[in-house]
Structure 1
Amino acid sequence: MNFQKRKQKILEQLDRTGEVDIKKLAAELDISEITARRDLNQLANDGLLYRTHGGAMKVDPLAKPKDFANKAAQNADVKDHICRKAAEHINDGDIIFMDCGSTVFRLCQFIKNKKIKVITNSLPVIYELQNCSVSINIIGGEFNNERQATHGKIANEHIARYHAGKAFLGVDGVSARGLFANSELEAEITSMYINQSAYTYVLCDDSKVGKETYLKFAYIDQIEAIITNADDQKLACFKDTALTILQVG
């Protein structure tokens, strides 16, 4: 069976059930798990599905534009390991901030059954968490189509009205010198989340650790923890800080 026929069957199953499992997919299509994983990755890159750990979920074209879906699908397994660890630190009754990063977005799948309140500026997070146990507080402001999120003065004023026990945030870079961003809008709203939360977790894959962009917006002691797949060598730069490092495989 060629890729086009496999693609059709995969998409048909997604339409029926909303998700597929790699092991079951391989058995049903009589292909190897390696081939099934490669097919799902290709379809994710085309914006046709959302990769999860061990499978894929249907992409709602009204909820997540292809550019964001593609970004969220990159390094899906790593992001899911990070987010599964993050979800272990979220308990019923928590009030949490979630930003508009593609890694933080993947946290949604692991918290849908938790009785918590999420305050977010991310449109994909809002769509992903609708009709589940999570209560959502939507941050208003100017809509940024590229980031699929709200930013600006009104958004910052909204955040300033609330206090959360925990914040789960992404960054463009993090080192012992601090947190780094590629955008002043992102830096500003991330700083607001940090200021208004009691405990801040930064979720980032190893490519972000040790990376410094042109814009440093916070010192490392302004956050409490990093959840990452970076190895001990990359994380050695934090040995003289009070940071809690939560490593995933």
Structure 2
Amino acid sequence: MLTLERHERILALLKQQKIAKLHELVEATGASESTIRRDLSILEDDHKLKRIHGGASFLSRKSEEPSLLEKKTQHTTEKDAIGKHAASLVENNDCIYVDAGSTTEAILPHITAKNVTVVTNGLNIIEAALLQNLKVYVLAGYVKTGTRAFVGKAAAESIKQYRFDLAFIGTNGIDVSFGYSTPDPEEASIKAAAIAQSNLAYMVSDPSKFRQTSFTKIADLNEASLITIDYGDDDYLEELSEYTRVEAVKQ
């Protein structure tokens, strides 16, 4: 198979399923792993995809965002590890903000602290928190179809009445220059407010968001610590640690 044909097949597979593992690309093209790795480097340099640990992801537009259902099928092992670590930071009697999202949802099943109060703008977070017998307060607003998040003027007004011991926030992009970012300005404003109104704020994200920027900035890196995964082969973690506190879970 010619190089151009391999590249077209790689991009077609990524467009179809958004993320592809290295072995899937090898099977789809019939090429060796070393050849695929070179192809991915070339395509990433051409801004046609993003390399991630063990494969590649589709390079979406700045304003595009996967639905919650799509997110729940991606990086599930990493999200569970991040959720477990985040939950270990929650202490008895804490009032915490848990942002809408699939990574934040992974925190709830691991919370063992007593008398914890949860405030959220996530439809999915409500059910997950109730399953853990946690006290739940919900922001006002309308619910976005894709992310199941409460947003809008009412949500922005209602969050002002709360203060949090801890806030756990999801992000679509992590970049040393642009900071944390997300596609929707309305969601970004809620996330930023939660960070500002918490004693300690944590962004929870797997490394697929590294070196990525979305349409709207949430906050600078130093405004929230980062809980993520350490695969052991990404020097970007060291670079990020120059700008914010990084708690990296070993994989």
- TM-score normalised per structure 2: 0.67
Change (3 A) 1:235 1:131: closer
* Alignment partner, residue 245 of structure 1: 246
1:203 paired to 2:219: no
Q: Distance in 2 between matches of 1:72 and 1:193?
A: 23
The alpha-carbon deviation at position 236 of structure 1 amounts to 2.3
Change (3 A) 1:152 1:247: same
1:101 paired to 2:101: yes
Question: Is the CA contact (8 Å cut-off) linking 1:175 and 1:237 kept in structure 2?
Answer: no
Q: Which runs of 5+ in 2 are unaligned?
A: 1-66
Q: Per the alignment, in what secondary structure is the counterpart of residue 207 of structure 2?
A: coil
Q: Distance in 2 between matches of 1:112 and 1:119?
A: 17
Q: Tell me which amino acid in the other structure corresponds to 1:160.
A: K
* Alignment partner, residue 127 of structure 1: 127
The alpha-carbon deviation at position 239 of structure 1 amounts to 3.8
* Alignment partner, residue 180 of structure 1: 181
Question: Is the CA contact (8 Å cut-off) linking 1:68 and 1:147 kept in structure 2?
Answer: yes
Question: Is the CA contact (8 Å cut-off) linking 1:175 and 1:211 kept in structure 2?
Answer: yes
Change (3 A) 1:128 1:217: closer
* Alignment partner, residue 235 of structure 1: 237
* Alignment partner, residue 20 of structure 2: none
Fraction of identical pairs, as percent: 28
Q: Distance in 2 between matches of 1:96 and 1:222?
A: 17
* Alignment partner, residue 192 of structure 2: 191
Question: Is the CA contact (8 Å cut-off) linking 1:113 and 1:134 kept in structure 2?
Answer: no
Change (3 A) 1:240 1:112: closer
* Alignment partner, residue 13 of structure 2: none
- TM-score normalised per structure 1: 0.68
1:217 paired to 2:221: no
Q: Once superposed, what is the RMSD of the aligned Cα atoms? A: 1.7
Q: Tell me which amino acid in the other structure corresponds to 2:222.
A: D
Q: Distance in 1 between matches of 2:89 and 2:247?
A: 11
For each residue in 1:145-165, what CA deviation from the matched residue of structure 2 results, as whole angstroms up to 9, or x when unmatched?
A: 211121011101111111001
Question: Is the CA contact (8 Å cut-off) linking 1:72 and 1:105 kept in structure 2?
Answer: no
Q: Per the alignment, in what secondary structure is the counterpart of residue 207 of structure 1?
A: helix
